[in-house]
Amino acid sequence: MAIFDLFVFIFCGIFMMGYDDSYSETQGEYFSFSNMKMEYKIVWGFYNFWIVLNCILLSYVLFKLYKRFILK
């Protein structure tokens, strides 16, 4: 699973480099959602969703380990 996470983060990072390359100060504040193209908004939203999903999965695994070893 960690390898898949790594691939997702690499993909999102490389894709968002296109935003960095095309950003101009005349467009407004850096990383503002209003000046991003739709493709960058989708990748940024997926990146944040992936982080939340990882936190939920990690919490679930830790809870299962806690129940297995501590509450035994």
Q: Please report which confidence band the pLDDT of residue 13 belongs to, taking 50, 70 and 90 as the band edges.
A: very high
pLDDT in tens, 57-71: 999 999 999 988 887
Domain boundaries, the chain: 2-21+36-69
Instruction: Render 21-68 in DSSP notation, one character per residue.
Output: HH--GGG-STT-GGGS-HHHHHHHHHHHHHHHHHHHHHHHHHHHHHHH
Entry pTM = 0.81
